Amino acid sequence: MKNKKSFIIHKDSLNILDELTNEQAGQLFKAIRQYQVGNVPNLESIIKIAFVPFKSQFDRDEIKYQELCEKNKQIAVKRYSTKRNQALPKTPNVTKSTDKDSDSDSDSDSEKAFSLFWDNYPRKTDKKRARTSFNRLSKAKQKLATVDCKTRFADTEAKFIPHATTYLNGERWEDGMSSTPNKKSWSNAI
């Protein structure tokens, strides 16, 4: 209670003041102050009787206050961790199955398809993201991308070839034939 800057006195508790003399009411308020700063007041019996309901209410209010502080702390921790997790790069949850079922066959087929694409793609940059982008595509689009990249960039200078992720996310195989300058056409233009 020592750290708190304020406390609440409920109006209905003040009715006791009508039954006390001014001196007793003053002693009661001094006892309330002592209790709020962390001291245990030494009171005569009539003031002690009047003080007990205040003390009980202060104790209940303190418990509610501490519970509210803890609840707000948990909310803040949750909010902070959520924002922090959103700021971190997302990594897909990959669970490997030890069974030789259709899922593992599908995973191995998908890995083979990506390996073929990666072998054909001339600019090897950020393989992990490229794999993720590749796996998001339908099987038909994966085949189109694999075939297209082999021919589209055959004579293209490396600096004019987009990263594999850019190529895949933009479904660039659907663009018209490369208008990207290649070594031969670039040197002819000069």
Please report, for the chain, the start and end positions of each structural domain, with discontinuous segments joined by +.
11-87, 102-189
Query: What three-state secondary structure class fits 182?
Result: strand
Low-confidence residues of the chain, pLDDT below 50?
A: 97-99, 101, 178-190
The pLDDT score that the predictor gives to residue 27 is 92
The residues, any chain, with a CB within 8 Å of residue 2's CB and separated by 6 or more, are 37, 38
Whether pTM exceeds 0.85: no
DSSP state of 16: G
The pLDDT score that the predictor gives to residue 94 is 52
The pLDDT score that the predictor gives to residue 149 is 80
Strand partners, 156: 182
The residues, any chain, with a CB within 8 Å of residue 182's CB and separated by 6 or more, are 155, 156, 157, 160
The pLDDT score that the predictor gives to residue 13 is 86
Q: Are 69 and 46 in contact (CB under 8 A)?
A: no
Distance between CA atoms of residues 2 and 59, nearest Å: 13
The pLDDT score that the predictor gives to residue 72 is 93
The pLDDT score that the predictor gives to residue 90 is 58
